[in-house]
Every structure is written in C-alpha cells, then in structure tokens.
Amino acid sequence: MHAYSPKNSQVLKDKLAFTSRRIIISGGSKEQGMTLGCLSELVGNGDITLGSYGNSLVLFADSFEKMKQSVKECVSSLNAKGFLANAATFSMENYFFAKHCSFITLPFIFDVTSNNFADFIAMRAMSFDGNQENNAWGNSVMTLKSEINSPFYLNFHMPTDFGSASAGHTLILGSTGSGKTVFMSMTLNAMGQFAYNFPANVSKDKQKLTMVYMDKDYGAYGNIVAMGGEYVKIELGTDTGLNPFAWAACVQKTDATMEQKQTAISVVKELVKNLATKSDEKDENGNSVSFSLADSNTLAAAVTNLITGDMNLDYPITQLINAFGKDHNDPNGLVARLAPFCKSTNGEFQWLFDNKATDRLDFSKTIIGVDGSSFLDNNDVSPFICFYLFARIQEAMDGRRFVLDIDEAWKYLGDPKVAYFVRDMLKTARKRNAIVRLATQSITDLLACPIADTIREQCPTKIFLRNDGGNLSDYQRLANVTEKEFEIITKGLDRKILYKQDGSPSVIASFNLRGIPKEYLKILSTDTVFVKEIDKIIQNHSIIDKYQALRQMYQQIKEY
C-alpha cells in the first residue's frame, strides 16, 4: 500500500535551506549543492513538492505457517529488486491503515519528490481494465497484460449487460510483420467460447455461433483447419462447388419464414440477372441498365420454377438454358448471355455455378474460411462470386452469434456489391447479434474504399498494431487517433497492441507470444509455402489424424 503526504511549502523550504547549509559546512560536493539548488527552485516555482512516503504490503494466507513462508519469499523478492523491505513486527495497525488517504502513519517513512512518487506508483485505479464478465456474449474474449502489469480484459463489444444488443464492429490495423494475422487467429479461436452459455430468453435454434473468415493469401488456412473448420478455396477454372439454386431450394424445404424463403429466391434471381448482363450494360454499381423487361420476367420465372419445382438441381444454368426454348443463335438472347456460365455449352466460366446439386457453403458449421486470393483480381468473375458469398453471409446473420472477419478488407471492399453488403452489415448487424471485424495492412487503401466514412462511424472498437510507416492524417481521418496514440503506434508497439474503444481511454496491452512453440505460431499465421502441404494433409488424413499431422509438419520447420 502506497502512502504519501505532501509537506507544507514553508516547512519544505526551511528543510531544504537547512540541508544546504549542512552540505556547505561538511564540505559536500559542488554537484550536491547544485542539485539542491535546482530542487529549491522547482519547489519555489510550484513545479514539484516533497512529501513523506512509505509503502506497506499486506499478505493473506490460510495458516500461520503459510503466512511465514509467504512473508519470507516476498521480502526476499523485493530486496532482490533493490527495495529495502522488512517484515513488520510492531505497529501493525499503522501499516494497515496507511493504505487509506491521508493516513501517513507508517513507522518508516522517507522524503521523496512528487515526481518520484508519480513515477513509482502504478496508478492502477485510473487504468481501464475492460470487463471480465457480464459482457454482451458473456466473459471477455481473452485476458492480456496492460502496461502496468494488471489484467486487461479484451472485448470487441461495447460495454453492456449479458444478452443485450451491443455494437462490436472492430477495425484492426497493422503493417506487414506486426502480428495482425496471429492476433486475428488467436482472438477468433478465443471467441469459440461463445458457442456456449446463452441467456435464457434465446430460442434454441439461435443458441449457436458461426464465425466466417474472409481470407487473403491463405493466412488463416492452417488455423481454421486445425480448429476443425471448413476452408473454401476457390480456384479459377476449377469447379467451385457453389450451386445457388440448390441452396435456395433447400431453404424452401426448411421451417424458414416466408420472408427468408422469398429472399433466397431473390438472391438467385439477382445473381443470374447479373450473369446474363454484359459488362458494358452495367452501371458503376454493377446493376443492369439495359436488360429488357420481357427477358427479365422470363428469367425470373424460370429461376423460380427451377428452385420450387422439386427437381434435380445438377447443373442449374444448363437447365435454365434448356428451359428458355428460344433461338440459340440470337446474340442478345438469354441463351447467348448465359452460355459462358453453362457446362453444356462448354462456357468459359462454367465452373462458377453450374455444378452438382450440393452447395459447398455450409453455415451450420462453427468456423468457415473462404480465400479470395485467386478471384479478387479477376474482374470477369469476382463480382459474381463476391455477390453470392456476401448475400449468403448476410442471410446467415439471423440472430445467432455471428462473427465476420474480412482480412485485407480494402481488397474485398473494392467490389461495389461487397461494399454495399458490408455497409449494410455495419449499420444493421448489431440488431442481428453479429459483429464485423475489418483488418488491413494499409490504412491508405482502406481510406480509398467507398465506405470509409461508414467504417469510421460504425466501428467503435479499434485495434492498432505497430506501423512504422503510418501517416498521422490517415489515422486521424479513419480512426480519430491522437498525436500521442500515433506516436505509440509508430514507435511503441513491439509485441503489443493499442486498444481504443469509443467512450473509454485507450490502453496499451501486451501481446507477447514468446515461449509458445514455433509450430503453434506457424499454425496461427500460415505462410504460402505450407499451403500445398496442408492440402495433402486434409486430403489424406481422417478428421482425428489431420490435427496431429499438422502439428508434426510445423514441428519440422527450420529456417526458410
């Protein structure tokens, strides 16, 4: 317990003058006199003061023997660190009550300056520790260590009561090598706890957790596989396993609401209309501008009949073309427009959606990863894939606990349809018990996105990792960072994060993973050199064996 009692200014001046005279009489060094002179000047100007300081530590134990041992260990540890520590044997009441303000009753006190005292104490009562429990989804995500070595309880949701709807959208910024992917993977894994412990008023069908990770360059591949999740790799020219018609037909056969059933059909209608619209017939948002009303009605009816017709939905684009019954030689007809996406015509993009009658996206799983490396830069297919993926994600935000992670978010948000979906999610997902986490290496790229203002307004939680090359104005525009916070981001975040949440003071917390075996760190952030090896493990091992195979692979890692 720290105890500090400032001295009366006049008493202090008299004491300094007396000490100065003693130094002169005793032939003290010139440096001592100069130091005392500076101290007297600072006191006279009111910059600092001196006071009586003492420190006591109260220990508790279950027995007298345990107490004796604890005292012995404590005194030994403090003395080893340079303190003058002794076990108290008298004036016990004084030591105890010294923890209260204005009770400078310690038998052993020393004079220290107010600056010394401020540097010495932890000021823990003024630190922001977060909430350990009773958050929107229960306990904190994980416990980190603050700068003053106290626990910091990491949360993405704004403070609220358990079960309450609270904004949890989060922006995560960190340069290459700062540990961004490792941080995202570790916190994603920690959020697995939210698959349990629901409020009593939550219906049984909503007592589940779904976490979707939109990946780039396979960074989360190893971690998602190791967690037992499903990782969807979409490769150009290879059947995607996506069949929107099969998904919509399955929705019709469930106990979904009529609105949900109609929405599923509408998603497929819009997707197919986009497929049938030539690139020069779309506006800047990807919407059709010259699709005839007759063709639109014909297409809508054919899609609806195919989905609700209780038929085999293998190769649905092929079935659509066969259903139109029009002249296949019409260059502007529906057949010609959809031919590039059809297997029966050997279309260039037949691998996109004209697949077997089982859709690969399964949001009943707890963890799903999707990698966009191969298609995000391909303007011929990216808009269609992104539209379907994010339409499905939005429909899965149905009141269950839902986490959507988008790594290198600027790349996904470059697509107008994705930007539209994410803007809507940021504004409305809170009501559907979902949070969105956007991460990127380059804040400049994210500022160039069409929804940068929405991101700034709708992400109350910001996580910063080190960025030596950051720009203050960019950080201020996107994240309202102060100059002091920016200095910390660029210079003071070695193995640490800066946590900033609206309405609370920013916190520096340690994210030091020293001591964790190398194979586990490599799992948390997958390097591209291991992608093919992980593919082999997934293909050749059972669910039980593949985790051990992954671990063994990473254990064999040398420097590369």
**Could you give the C-alpha distances from 430 to 197, 201, 365, 394, in angstroms and in order?**
19, 17, 21, 12
Cβ burial, residue 470 (10 Å; 0-12/13-18/19+): buried
User: Which of helix, strand or coil describes residue 542?
Assistant: coil
CA 27, 31, 35, 40 dihedral sign is positive
Q: Which fold has domain 142-238+360-552?
A: Rossmann fold (3.40.50)
Distance CA 180, CA 176 (A): 8
Residue type, 482: T
DSSP state of 257: -
- Are the C-beta atoms of residues 309 and 320 closer than 8 Å to each other? no
Which token pair is 111?
A: 């004079």
- Are the C-beta atoms of residues 481 and 475 closer than 8 Å to each other? yes
Provide DSSP, 366-423: SEEEEE-TTTTT-TTTHHHHHHHHHHHHHHH-SSSEEEEEETTHHHHHTSHHHHHHHH
**Strand-pair partners of 112:** 51
E-strand ranges in 221-309 read: 230-233
Question: pTM of the full predicted structure?
Answer: 0.77
- Give the number of other Cβ atoms within 10 Å of residue 344's Cβ: 14
> pLDDT of the chain along its 560 residues, tens only?
566 677 777 777 777 777 777 776 777 666 666 676 777 777 777 777 777 777 777 888 889 899 889 989 988 988 887 777 878 777 677 767 766 655 556 666 677 777 777 776 755 445 578 889 999 999 999 999 988 778 899 999 999 889 888 999 999 999 988 889 999 999 999 999 999 999 999 999 999 999 999 999 998 998 998 888 999 999 999 999 999 999 999 999 998 899 999 999 999 999 999 999 876 666 566 665 566 778 888 899 999 999 998 889 999 999 999 888 655 667 778 888 899 999 998 999 999 999 999 999 999 999 999 999 999 999 999 999 999 999 999 999 999 999 999 999 999 999 998 999 999 999 999 999 999 999 999 899 999 999 999 999 999 999 999 999 889 999 999 999 999 999 999 987 888 999 999 988 899 999 877 777 777 777 888 877 777 777 777 776 555 566 667 667 766 654 43
Q: Which residues contact 551 (CB under 8 A, 6 or more apart)?
A: 519, 523
Q: Write down the domain spans for the chain.
A: 2-121, 142-238+360-552, 244-341
Closest CA to 423 of 442, 434, 436: 436
